[in-house]
Amino acid sequence: MNMPTLHRFFSDIWLEVTQPVIQKTSQRSMFSLVKALLCFTLLALGLTAGSAYAQVTNSPITLAKTWVNGFPGETVTGDITGGTGTPTSTSSTAPGAAVMIATGAGDSGTTITISETFTTPANAVNYNFSLVCNGNVTASQPTRSGGVVSATFTMPAAAVTCTFTNSRRSTDLYLSKIWYTGNSGDTMTATTTGGTNNATLTSQFNGTNNQIDSSALALVYAGDTITIPDEAFTSGSQANYTSQMSCIIAQSAEPIAPGDDGKRASGDSAKAVASQLITVLPNYQTINCTFYNTLKPVAAPATPVPTLGGWSLMLLSLMLLGLGSGLVRRGRGF
């Protein structure tokens, strides 16, 4: 019953009840009139409120999924619980475009839970999560338990679409070079491989000991496996140097809180690794790999051994020949 019809209904009742009373106006009848007016007013308000807040049933629910720098092949499956009927579920694989991963329905006023489940549960820690719902729906902050990310909202009297966004955690990678000593003009280069982005360093020794050069920052992501190459000399020879390479990784305290939006926890630390193969973990803040070179000392020249020239050999031969002849004559008694 709409509002104009409702008002006409109460107006007709009001006239039927109050007309006789008005015709016999007295103090008692006026009191009854006031009571009747109050009762009908409260009744009208109740009916109007009930009409405004009547439950709406089976409004559609859609759960969508987007990836930001998702690891290729990463897969999640969506789900909706707390609604009416049987929801449908499907999956989304990175790095694909936004897709629907679940549909369902719900009655207004009920609590709906939406979730996504990682096919490889251990990989969920590599991501930050956010959730946006349309209209005036305010969902809870997504939380992670193992490989399941979930959130809740109160179903309105209208259709709802919510979208989970998974953003892979990232860190900065860069290469450095320290020339403790060197030959001016000697040049080296190195480029990492395996990262979503890779770092390249080119460094030329300028003649000043303890020279330090660094590459630009390369943004790499959790799950990337980085290979740190051997340095290659494009000028000069690495054989002239004593060489070493090591990496320093700054990392945040573990464990990482579910739903972490990239803020780092207290208790940060650093670790040194000599490996040339580094798998990026979600709590890494920076990765710096440094090549160290020290020029080998130049060996002192060997002391030359005196040699006999041609005339010296001839004279020595004559002397030996004469000595031999003398010994022969003595032996014969001459």
Average pLDDT, the chain: 81
| pLDDT at res. 259 | 43
Phi, psi of 50 (to 5 degrees): -60, -40
Query: What percentage of the chain has pLDDT greater than the value 70?
Result: 69
Please determine, for residue 74, whether its predicted confidence score (pLDDT) is greater than 80. yes
272 confidence band (pLDDT: 50, 70, 90): confident
Fold of 59-168: Immunoglobulin-like (2.60.40)
- pLDDT one-digit tens code per residue, 206-252: 999 999 999 999 999 999 999 999 999 999 999 999 999 999 999 98
145 vs 13 pLDDT, higher one: 145
Q: Cα dihedral angle (209, 210, 211, 213), rounded to 10 degrees? A: 160
Domains in the chain: boundaries = 59-168, 170-295
Whether the model pTM is above 0.75: no
DSSP string for 47-94: HHHHHHTPPP--EEEEEEEEEESPPTT-EEEEEEESSEEEEEE-EEET
